């Protein structure tokens, strides 16, 4: 009798677990929604971290939060890119004469050196922490 009760309990647990799984996955594409605590409004953030390219230089090193939206402004006449040295952490093309672009900073903390694909002597570093 005791064994049967135990089996029944296990079956009940399994049913509950399955039910829980089914109900939690019913909303469409939960992976697409931002994590909790992320203030993603889509509006322009005046305090957004910005890399300003001027005179073929990226300016002072920039430190941003993981996953931050980074804006790049290029005041040179020439076009530039912000291309991560390793992997494909980020890579944006920024047109000259005031062109802008945005990219999402890596989610993993660390130091991300980058360069310009057109001018290999241009180097900068993005720090994520
Ligand atoms: Cu360049």
Question: Which pLDDT band holds residue 22 (cuts at 50, 70, 90)?
Answer: very low
For the chain, the straight-line distance linking the first and the last C-alpha, in angstroms and rounded, comes to 58
CATH topology of domain 50-128: Immunoglobulin-like (2.60.40)
Q: Name the pTM for this structure.
A: 0.65
Q: Where are the domains of the chain?
A: 50-128
Sheet bearing 110-115, strands edge to edge: 62-64, 123-128, 110-115, 80-84, 91-94
Q: How far does residue 10's CA lie from ligand 1's centre (Å)?
A: 64
74 Cα–ligand 1 center, Å: 9
Ligand 1 centre to CA of 117 (Å) is 6
60 CA → ligand 1 middle, Å: 16
Give the residues across from 113 on adjacent strands: 125
In this prediction, residue 38 has a pLDDT band, given cuts at 50, 70 and 90, of: very low
């Amino acid at each position: 009798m005791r064994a049967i009760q135990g089996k029944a309990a296990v079956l009940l647990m399994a049913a509950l677990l399955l039910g829980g799984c089914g109900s939690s996955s019913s909303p469409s594409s939960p992976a697409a929604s931002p994590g909790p605590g992320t203030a993603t409004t889509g509006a322009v953030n005046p305090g957004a971290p910005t890399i300003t390219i001027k005179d073929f230089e990226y300016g002072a090193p920039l430190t941003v939060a993981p996953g931050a939206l980074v804006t790049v402004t290029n005041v040179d006449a020439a076009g530039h890119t912000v291309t991560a040295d390793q992997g494909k952490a980020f890579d944006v093309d920024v047109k000259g004469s005031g062109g802008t672009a945005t990219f999402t900073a890596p989610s993993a903390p660390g130091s991300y050196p980058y360069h310009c694909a057109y001018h290999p002597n241009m180097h900068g570093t993005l720090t994520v922490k």
